[in-house]
Chains A and B, each alone.
Chain A
Amino acid sequence: MIEAQGLRKHFGRTAALDGLDLTVSAGEVHGFLGPNGAGKSTTIRVLLGMLRADAGSTSVLGRDPWRDAVAIHRDVAYVPGDVTLWPNLSGGETIDYLTRLRGGADAALRARLIEDFQLDPRKKGRGYSKGNRQKVALVAAFARPAELYIFDEPTSGLDPVMESVFRAEVERVVADGATVLLSSHILSEVEQLCDRVTIVRAGRAVETGTLDELRHLTRTSFRVATAAGLAEVAALAGVHDAREEAGHLVFDVDGAELETVLAALTRAGVTALTATPPSLEELFLRHYGDRIAVTDEDAA
């Protein structure tokens, strides 16, 4: 579906893409994960033929996105990260217009999506909040079936209820055989939806694989008040970086070992427990020794 190799793109003297590789196969939901400024949006714009890469090869649906943009776009639905609408077109008009560019909306589907996303289609573009602008673009993307869906940080303005509507739609189109590329800087969002993930940092793909393969990246952080001793917990399989802080034990647990660690804790007795998923920032700090702020400057 998508095959990009060694993409390079410079804006002036800054390198936005520095030899990026990305492969998305048919039928999968592919997470494109990285901090802001890592080059995710630039990659997507190259894949859509909005930008021309300085070097590297790209193929989308088996074609060159720069030369054959129109042919490819008939089968691609895209939602940009920062949606701007025409101020004097209503949401409904915008949805119809954008879907017509690809051949026209499925009327029943359009009506159901507007209902599910709780969108008022009569409002003018200038009157929508960020979240509602995003919903207009999402309805336009889902209202006509496509082979490939590209979402650039699609849930950044949505509340949790709408995020779940979005997830349900992604699951629906994938069940129908479509392929999805989903960029995000939120690890948990990608975990919930994606089969495979590519992690991008400073214009380069640093890891790619299935979620299981990347399981070592997704440790859960625990903070527990327990009768068990520090040494006892540190010795359990899958426990890392165990230490004692203000009377609590603090440690990280590999996703695969959660069950055994929890069982051991329960046997010892627990009076308080908080568990937090690792943030992307922690992950990058741990694996690449980066502070995200530094990465931002590199690739901004």
Chain B
Amino acid sequence: MLLVLLQQMRRDRIILPIWVLGTAALSAVTVAAAANEFGDATGRAQILAVALATPALLALRGIPNGDELGSAVHFQSFAWLALTLGLMNVFLATRHGRADEEKGRRELVLAAPVSRMTPAVSALLLAVLANLAYAVLAVLGYQAGGLPLEGSVLSAVCLALIGLVFFGVGSLAGELAATTRAASGIGVVVVLVAYAFRAAGDALGTPDVAALTLDPAWPSYLTPIGWGQLALPFTADRWWPVAVLAALAAVLVAVALVVHSRRELGASLLAERSGRPAAPATLRGAFGLAWRLQWPSMLGWTIGSAALGIALGSLVTAVSQLDFSANPSLQAILQSLGRTDQTDVAKALIPALTAMVGSLAAASGVQAVLRAREEEVAGRTEAVLAGAVSRFAWTGAFLGVAVLTVAVVLLASGAAAAAGFAVAGNDDFVWLALGQCLVQAPAALTFVAVAALAVAALPRVSVGIAWGLFGVGVVIGYFGQLMDLPDWLQQASPITQVPELPTDDWLPTFVLAAIVVVAAVLAAAAFRRRDLST
């Protein structure tokens, strides 16, 4: 048993510390960030009051409880930390469960004098250790930030137990599904649905502005994340959710272990769905393949961007209805989010928020273009190019799908935001929001075209180059001003060059569009000249 556990720990010596330390660091950083952004108790009360009036913020963040610093931390981070820990635990469960069986590693271990249950129980121990490590680190982080001890422990314990609940979900998914992909898929969907139910329940909840808290609606009560939130650490300090979460985790893990003890190696409760015996007529040519491989990701990005658009619309609507004469400090905070000193705060928020939409679109396009490299590394590009498919068509297909993805993502968020404004009767903002989303296209496509050029010209390092440039561009574009970077460096990020509508200065947009065309042409030419490399 110890040997098996040590081997599992050794395999996870990089990935698991990244998850645990990363999540713990996020917890600690939130305390400092909340102290910084929310100001003193009055500042916190003002911002949380705005939040209580903004369903989109409640959905995105969580429920506040009082004007303590801990309340702001809980509001800002609890649901996100639960989401991160949920994913960590689902992947941990499938990595040491279904993946081992699918790859045949489990067979090697069980052929030694090792009981069938040993690897499963050992994975459970590993999960307990990982979540415990997170809880200890989080408590230390909260203490360093000056939060009360009881609330810190309660919050960390709830999160660790939510982690174990999702370890149970992941284990059970591994018993049900035949492949690692399907098992992780089921687990991730359960985590996301839990988050979404909590988001909906919180958004639809009944706010109590005097006590600065919220009674969530019924969907929040259906999810472990919602229960964990109800512990209301730092104010009410309720301990009953700890018992409920512990019981749920125990039941899920126990069911998974019982199924595991009865199941044959490699068997699964759900058979893998078989595919079509013949291809649909649309699966032809380079574009047909690129589309078939990419449409699920495209759908995912589109749903995400539409959600972002809805959040954008409702946030701006809420802000536009505020009366700032009473509290100018709040106006200053909100204004600092925007990049200009627009007097109309709501209008200033639109370019800042649509820049996020632009980055999301850029990321979706970069991912679509890098798929071509993934195919090449796997050796499948060779199979396609051995047919009557030109190098030009291959580059064009993936670039084409990437451009389409960027367009759909921008349209989806623009339309969602515009629809929100139309419903709220905010007619001024309908066309502004849609236009400001669409005008992100040249900047987003610059990242995409440069990624395509990297794949064509420097294939071995293309993934690093593409995401590296994207990361640097986003950091400079968002924080260049805050960090006081030299002007030429700020201007170098395509994100900085996106105009704020209405504008007369279209030159930067045309320059970006020209860069896109040149980079795409160069990419097509470079790919025709090089050897395929894996």
Contact = CB atoms under 8 A, between A and B. Distances in A.
B293 A93 contact: no
What band does the interface of chain A fall in when counting residues whose beta carbon is under 8 Å from B?
35 or more
A101 B384 contact: yes
B386 interface: yes
Contact of A122 (B277, B379, B391): B277
A45 to B, nearest CB: 7
Interface stretch (A19-27, A72-80, A171-179, A210-218): A72-80
A89 interface: yes
A300 interface: no
A90 B274 contact: yes
Nearest to B385: A50
Contacts of B292: 89
Interface string A105-131: 000000000000000011110110000
Nearest to A86: B380
Return the 8 tightest CB-CB contacts between A and B, nearest first: A101-B387, A90-B275, A96-B279, A122-B274, A93-B279, A92-B277, A78-B386, A51-B531
Given A52-B531, A101-B389, A90 B276 contact: yes
Interface in A156-171: none
Greatest chain A CB density within 10 A among B272, B382, B384, B391 is at B382
A70 to B, nearest CB: 5
B387 A98 contact: yes
Interface in B279-304: 279-280, 283-285, 288-289, 292-293
B532 interface: yes
Chain B interface, >50% SS class: loop
B483 interface: no
B258 interface: no
A45 B532 contact: yes
B179 interface: yes
Contacts of A137: 383
Interface string A83-104: 1111111111111111011110
Contact of B275 (A48, A49, A74, A123): A123
A96 to B, nearest CB: 4
Given A80-B382, A86-B293, A97-B279, A124 B274 contact: yes
Contacts of B289: 97
A82 interface: yes
B379 A92 contact: no
Contacts of B391: 69
B284 A48 contact: no
Greatest chain A CB density within 10 A among B288, B292, B379, B388 is at B388
Given A45-B532, A50-B531, A121 B277 contact: yes
A80 B385 CA distance: 12
A33 B387 CA distance: 25
Contact of A69 (B274, B285, B385): B385
Interface in B356-392: 378-380, 382-391
A88 B391 CA distance: 24
Given A50-B532, A51-B532, A124-B272, A101 B388 contact: yes
Contacts of B280: 93
B275 A126 contact: no
Given A49-B385, A127-B179, 8 more contacts: A89-B275, A93-B280, A97-B279, A97-B283, A98-B383, A101-B389, A121-B277, A123-B274
Given A80-B382, A93-B279, A97-B284, A73 B274 contact: no
A122 B278 CA distance: 8
A74 B293 contact: no
Contact of A73 (B272, B276, B380, B386): B386
B181 interface: yes
Nearest to A67: B528
B371 to A, nearest CB: 11
16 contacts: A45-B382, A50-B532, A51-B531, A51-B532, A69-B390, A80-B383, A85-B380, A89-B279, A90-B277, A92-B278, A93-B278, A93-B280, A100-B387, A122-B275, A124-B274, A137-B383
A85 B380 CA distance: 7
Interface in B501-534: 531-532
Interface of A: 45, 48-52, 69-71, 73-74, 76, 78, 80, 82-98, 100-103, 121-124, 126-127, 137
B380 A84 contact: yes
Interface string B139-168: 000000000000000000000000000000
A51 B391 CA distance: 12
A92 B276 contact: yes
Contact of B278 (A48, A49, A73, A96): A96
B380 A92 contact: no
A152 B470 CA distance: 40
Nearest to B393: A70
A240 B95 CA distance: 58
A55 B379 CA distance: 25
B379 A82 contact: yes
Greatest chain A CB density within 10 A among B181, B387, B391 is at B387
A96 B288 CA distance: 12
A154 to B, nearest CB: 14
B284 A73 contact: no
Contacts of B278: 92-93, 96, 121
A73 B387 contact: yes
A101 B272 contact: no
Interface in B405-444: none
Contacts of B531: 50-52
Contact of A50 (B274, B380, B382, B387): B382
Contacts of A80: 379, 382-383, 386
Given A50-B382, A126-B181, A73 B388 contact: yes
Nearest to A96: B279
B7 to A, nearest CB: 26
Given A51-B532, A100-B284, A93 B380 contact: no
Nearest to A49: B385
B495 to A, nearest CB: 34
A93 B385 contact: no
A83 B384 CA distance: 12
A94 B289 CA distance: 10
Contacts of B181: 87, 126
Nearest to B392: A70
Interface string B248-283: 000000000000000000000000101111111001
A73 B379 CA distance: 17
A122 B276 contact: yes
A95 B284 CA distance: 11
Nearest to B292: A89
Contacts of A74: 388
A126 to B, nearest CB: 7
